[in-house]
Amino acid sequence: MTAVTICDVAPRDGLQNDAKILDAATRAELVNRLAAAGVPRIEAVSFVHPKRVPQMADAEGVVAGIERRDGVVYAGLALNDRGYDRLRETALDEVHFAFAVSEEFNQRNAGTGTEDSVQSGERIVARAREDGIRATVTLGTSFGCPFAGAIDPGVVLELAGRFAAGGADEIVFADTVGVAVPRQVRHLVEEGVKLGVPIGAHLHNTRNTGIANALVAVEAGATVLDASVGGVGGCPFAPRATGNICTEDLVYLLHGEGVETGIDLGGLVEVAQWLEGVLGRELEGMVYKAGVFAPVAG
C-alpha cells in the first residue's frame, strides 16, 4: 500500500488570508486538534512581520501553546534569516522556506528578487543542517503566475536542483494560485523525483483541479502533500486567490484509493466543524458537510 505524508498548513497558509484574525491560543488549539486527529505534520506558524501578515502575529505564543504529540512533526515558515533566527529559538522540528519562481510575484510577496530569495534559502538550508533542523523548500508559482503567466518547467527544475544539491531535505512544487492541470503536475513531479530527494506538492483548488492534481502527484512519485483543513487559505498577495486543497477531502480520496495517511478522517471532520464555528462562516471543504462514507465495499 502506498503511503503519503500529509502536512496540514491551515494554521499558517490557511489562516493568513482569512479576514478574521485569531489569537495565538486559538491557533495553537487548531494545531493540537489536528495532531489529535493523526495529522503527521503541521505547519504551525510563520515567522513574518505582523505588519505584513497580521494573522500570523505572535508565532512564539502559538508554539508555546502546542501540546506536543509523539510522531508529529511541527514546522514553521521562515522567509529570511531573521525569521529563521526566531524559529531556531523555539521547539519546532522543521523549517519551511518558500519563494516564488516568478520574479514579479516574489517581489510582491517577499519584497525582493527571486535570486535574492534563493540565496537566502540556501543560507537557511545550510544553517538548518548545522542546527539539526530538517529543511523543506517550497517553490511557489511552479505552474503559473497571475502576473507573469505560464512558468517554464525547466526553470523550476533548475532551481529545485540547486536546493537538492545544497542539502534540502525535501522539495515541494507549489501551485500557489491554483492554475495547474494534471499533465503539468505529473511532469514536474516525475522530473523532480530524479533529483534524489523527497518531492511534495502544495496545491490550491482555485480552478477546481487541486484534488485531481494531488492524485496525479502521488502516482508520479510525490510522498508529501500539503493541504488545509476545511479548505481554508489563499495568498494575500495573489489576486482572487482561494484556498488550499481541503485536507479531509484529500484524505477521503486517498483512503478510497488505498493510500495510507495515518489520519482519522472522522476526527479531521470534527476539526473542520470546530473551525467553521471559530471563523463564523461555512468553509470551502466538502466532506465535512456531506459526511464520511466508505467508497469501497467490504
- Phi, then psi, of 73 in degrees rounded to 5: -95, 125
Contact between residue 56 and residue 25 where contact means Cβ atoms under 8 Å apart: no
Contact between residue 176 and residue 108 where contact means Cβ atoms under 8 Å apart: no
58: left (phi over 0), alpha (psi -120 to 50) or beta: left
Distance from CA of residue 272 to its chain's centroid? 17
Q: Which of 7, 145, 235, 246 is catalytic?
A: 235
Is residue 235 part of the annotated active site? The answer reads yes
- Burial class of residue 63, CB neighbours in 10 A (0-12, 13-18, 19+): buried
Closest by alpha carbon to 75, among 169, 196, 1, 184? 169
Three-state SS annotation for 12-65: HHHCCCCCCCCCHHHHHHHHHHHHHCCCCEEEEEECCCCCCCHHHCCHHHHHHC
Distance from CA of residue 74 to its chain's centroid? 12
Q: What does the alpha-carbon distance between residue 246 and residue 271 come to, in Å, rounded to a whole number?
A: 12
Distance from CA of residue 100 to its chain's centroid? 14
Provide the annotated active-site residues: 235
